[in-house]
Amino acid sequence: MSNSDNMIPAWLDGTLTPIDKLDVHRRGLRHPAVSVFVMRRREMLIQRRAMEKYHTPGLWANTCCTHPGWGESPADCAIRRLNEELGIKGLFPAHRDQIEYRADVGGGLTEHEVVQLYVVEAGDDLKVKPNPAEVMEVRWIELYDLAAEISRHPERFTPWMRIYMQEHRDRIFGKLSQS
């Protein structure tokens, strides 16, 4: 597979190298990623991945996530992907943190990502137009309801969404109170 659209940066022998995306996941190579969380007060916009996705199809995930292209900044990648996946324009996410995780995503594939986390507050008038090749459904959900749903039905969510909400929620969203 030599299509440059399928090439993503990954660390190979300590050097960041462009490698085929599927090969990166088959080999479980450590690679850069971006995750975006669009918030409306205490609610997050989540997406259900399209059935055509090569891993974790039909599972719920955060607003959007992807791998930056070779030479693409994480911030530019976050803005690009909001538009490509959800038709969202005019939002400029703020960098929140960086985490690293490794997770089996099924089908012999592994995500080993160094993730730049971005959060952005949206207004009630946010226009969302999901790309059906990427996203089959979206919904807004309050963070505590999301945590409870993941606890009750983890199989409905991507491994990274479970990791974000179970291990890194305070780092991403700050300390939340029940009020």
pLDDT one-digit tens code per residue, 22-52: 999 999 999 999 999 999 999 999 999 999 9
Residue 45 within any structural domain of the chain = yes
- Look at residue 75 and tell me if it is in a domain: yes
- What is the per-residue pLDDT for 6? 87
Task: Identify the CA nearest to 36 among candidates 71, 67, 72.
Answer: 67
Alpha helices in 15-142, H assignment, sequence order:
21-27, 74-86
What's residue 89's pLDDT? 97
Query: Where in the sequence numbering do the catalytic residues fall?
Result: 65, 113
Q: How confident is the model at residue 166 (pLDDT cuts 50, 70, 90)?
A: very high
12, part of any domain: no
pLDDT value, residue 174:
86
CA atoms in the 13 A half-sphere facing the CB of 58: 4
Instruction: Find the domain containing 134 and state its range.
Output: 19-171
Q: Is residue 10 part of a domain?
A: no
Q: For the chain, how many structural domains are there in total?
A: 1
Q: What is the mean pLDDT of residues 103-130?
A: 97
Residue 101 resides in a domain? yes
Q: For position 125, which CATH number holds?
A: 3.90.79.10
pLDDT of residue 176: 60
In a domain, 44, yes or no: yes
pLDDT of 178 reads 46
* Mean pLDDT rounded to a whole number for the chain: 94
48 within a domain of the structure (yes/no): yes
Cα-flanking dihedrals φ and ψ of residue 138, to 5°? -130, 155
> Does residue 79 belong to any structural domain of this protein?
yes
Whether pLDDT at 1 is above 80: no
